[in-house]
Chains A and B, each alone.
Chain A
Amino acid sequence: MSGTGAVEIEGAALAFGERTLWSGLDLTIEPGEFVAVLGPNGSGKTTLLKVLLGLQSLSAGSVRVAGAAPGKGNRRVGYVPQQRALDQGLTLRGRDLVGLGLDGDRWGTGLRGLRTRRRKVAEAVESVGATPYASSPVGLLSGGEQQRLRVAQALIGDPDVLLCDEPLASLDLTHQRTVTELIEERRRQTGTAVLFVTHEINPVLPYVDRVLYLVGGRFRVGTPAEVMTSATLSELYGAQVEVVRVGGQIHVAGAQSALCEDTVHHDHDHAHDDEPVRTGRT
């Protein structure tokens, strides 16, 4: 493996005991490319991210991220987690949260270079428009504000690769758009490769170059136009799935409960006998 890809996955397989999440996965993400990872719950989207972060080893195959083995503490990789409310009682300001992205993994006092640090943190905070609340306790900020700070935290180290794990989940539409635009802006300006795990493609659809769609051990890689079609998704799910394009958005019918997994799974009236999500899980 000596390519130039920001992320290089070759013949990767991941199994837990009997259960194989996916195998034979090849994917090279070029610098500046935006790849969305889609699929229902339990298809191994987040596990793929863990592999890239070096928190989970593969059963077979190999992976390189930003030119190195997926390692702990790889400073050329930025990570934006799913929005989780921070503890209200934290003695921490917004800018401190961002600063942790710069040197939170370093040992020692870090007393040298405090001035440079302050400037870098201020710039990162400004770049996501978080300056007005950078001095407020993080625990008192809204989910959207916290998530902006987390984007700044991931970007402050000027990463070559940005790994995002459902960063839009539980955000309202306005904040979804802001967070997506911040990530897209960085990709355009510095050629950061983006791997974006999401259950909902529409917020990122205008920016996505390619899609990795995982369903129950099967997967497909390609442009949204190639992958997000009735034929391809029906094949992946092993059931009839209809892809409808309305006003520049993509809606997938028949795999509804599989795709909108963050919403409560009430029994939809249109639940078919061949509910795709079930075939994907057996």
Chain B
Amino acid sequence: MEKLFDFELTGRLLQLDFVLMALAAAAVLGLVAGTLGPLIVMRRMSFAVHGTAELAFTGAAAALLLGIGVSYGALAGAVIAALLLGLLGGRESERDSVIGVILSFGLGLGVLLLWFYDGRSNNKFGILVGQIVAIQQQDLELLIGCAVAVLAVLAIIYRPLLFSTVDPSVAVARGVPVQWLSPLFAVLVGVATALGVQIVGALLVVALMVTPAAAAGRVTASPWKATVLAVVFAETAALGGIVLSLAPGAPVSFFVTAISFTIYLVCRAIAYVRSRQRRISESGSAASPVPVP
């Protein structure tokens, strides 16, 4: 346990190339996840993110078996998942169950693929819970390329996307192409999820994609502030998680999710205190009675 706070060891490890590589990857992921997060939360896509991550796992497992880069496999799996969910889950009432159906099948398929794979078992475990220290130079390049593409597309579609998220019927009336913005955003989320799978693993992607934005939404109602806060929270969790995991050599995923969760709890507490204060000040001032028609 004392190794957890061995700052000297942490400092020494921070000079290693593979650690710096991991930190760079986490920083890129934090930026993308934090930026997409508020829209994911508003569009109620948390479960879709989880489902997409499981299919990214299936893709990664297939890639491992075939001997191609795990990154490409995860990417292909996540994008296929995003398109599948977009195609099959058109109706709001069905979306939830469709995700459950696809997710479970994808996970099962992935387990079978891993069973066929007879390489290092570390690799198997890695795509479920992340293997950030195994990030290579070319992985990082792919990561940055994908991140730039996702952020560029998001910048272009941001306002119509926000409009169609908030009030689809009015957005349609104003000529916003709501029907194809949804699948496009799902693909963006899929790409980001695939990136996350390599760092925190398929099981824990939600901790970076959803939790920071959910926390930010508790303390601000401004879409811009929420996005900035979500990025800050996601970066704190991703980078902080890696740094804390160095000395004890414990799994990165635990620290990432623990920081993320702590931030969420703090934000909820702030929101609670604020709403209490508001209620007290409201009951103090004489509220004008609402006329009864």
Cross-chain contact A91 with B170 (CB below 8 angstroms): no
Give the CA-CA distance A97 to B171 in the complex, in Å: 11
Which of the segments A20-28, A107-115, A123-131 contacts the partner chain?
A107-115
Q: Does A273 contact B (CB under 8 A)?
A: no
> Closest CB-CB distance, B169 to chain A, in whole Å?
6
Give the CA-CA distance A46 to B288 in the complex, in Å: 36
Q: Does A120 contact B (CB under 8 A)?
A: no
Cross-chain contact A90 with B42 (CB below 8 angstroms): yes
| B residues less than 8 Å from A91 (CB atoms) | 38, 41-42, 216-217, 220-223, 226
> Closest CB-CB distance, A97 to chain B, in whole Å?
7
> Closest CB-CB distance, B146 to chain A, in whole Å?
20
Interface residues in A73-125 (C-beta closer than 8 Å to B): 73-74, 79, 81, 84, 86-87, 89-93, 96-97, 100-101, 103-110
Chain B 162-191 interface mask (CB, 8 Å, partner A; 1/0): 110011011111111100000000000000
Q: Contacts A91-B216, A91-B220, A92-B166 known; A105 to B176 CB distance under 8 Å?
A: yes
Cross-chain contact B223 with A92 (CB below 8 angstroms): yes
Cross-chain contact B42 with A74 (CB below 8 angstroms): no
Give the CA-CA distance A29 to B139 in the complex, in Å: 62
Q: Does B160 contact A (CB under 8 A)?
A: yes
Chain B interface residue number, banded: 20 to 34
Q: Does B18 contact A (CB under 8 A)?
A: no
Q: Does B155 contact A (CB under 8 A)?
A: yes
Q: Does B159 contact A (CB under 8 A)?
A: yes
Q: Binding site of A, secondary structure by majority: helix, strand, loop or mixed?
A: loop
Q: Does B291 contact A (CB under 8 A)?
A: yes
Cross-chain contact A90 with B158 (CB below 8 angstroms): no
Cross-chain contact A79 with B223 (CB below 8 angstroms): no
Cross-chain contact A105 with B293 (CB below 8 angstroms): no
> Closest CB-CB distance, B213 to chain A, in whole Å?
8
Chain B 203-226 interface mask (CB, 8 Å, partner A; 1/0): 000000000000011001111001
Give the CA-CA distance A174 to B175 in the complex, in Å: 32
| A residues less than 8 Å from B167 (CB atoms) | 81, 86, 97, 100
| A residues less than 8 Å from B169 (CB atoms) | 81, 84
| A residues less than 8 Å from B222 (CB atoms) | 91, 93, 96
Q: Does B157 contact A (CB under 8 A)?
A: yes
> Closest CB-CB distance, A38 to chain B, in whole Å?
21
Q: Does B156 contact A (CB under 8 A)?
A: yes
Interface residues in A49-69 (C-beta closer than 8 Å to B): 53-55
Q: Does A190 contact B (CB under 8 A)?
A: no
Q: Does A192 contact B (CB under 8 A)?
A: no
**B167, B175, B216, B293: which has the most chain A beta carbons within 10 Å?**
B167
Give the CA-CA distance A101 to B173 in the complex, in Å: 11
Contact partner of A74 among B41, B156, B175, B226, CB < 8 A? B175
Q: Does A137 contact B (CB under 8 A)?
A: yes
Smallest Cβ-Cβ distance to B165: which chain A residue: A90
Q: Does A71 contact B (CB under 8 A)?
A: yes
> Closest CB-CB distance, A72 to chain B, in whole Å?
3
Contact partner of B158 among A79, A89, A109, CB < 8 A? A109
Give the CA-CA distance A93 to B42 in the complex, in Å: 13
Cross-chain contact B158 with A135 (CB below 8 angstroms): no
> Closest CB-CB distance, B187 to chain A, in whole Å?
17
Smallest Cβ-Cβ distance to A52: which chain B residue: B173
Cross-chain contact A104 with B175 (CB below 8 angstroms): no
Cross-chain contact B159 with A110 (CB below 8 angstroms): yes
Give the CA-CA distance A74 to B163 in the complex, in Å: 16
Q: Contacts A104-B174, A135-B221 known; A86 to B159 CB distance under 8 Å?
A: no
Binding site for B on A (CB under 8 A): 53-55, 71-74, 79, 81, 84, 86-87, 89-93, 96-97, 100-101, 103-110, 135-138, 150, 153, 172-174
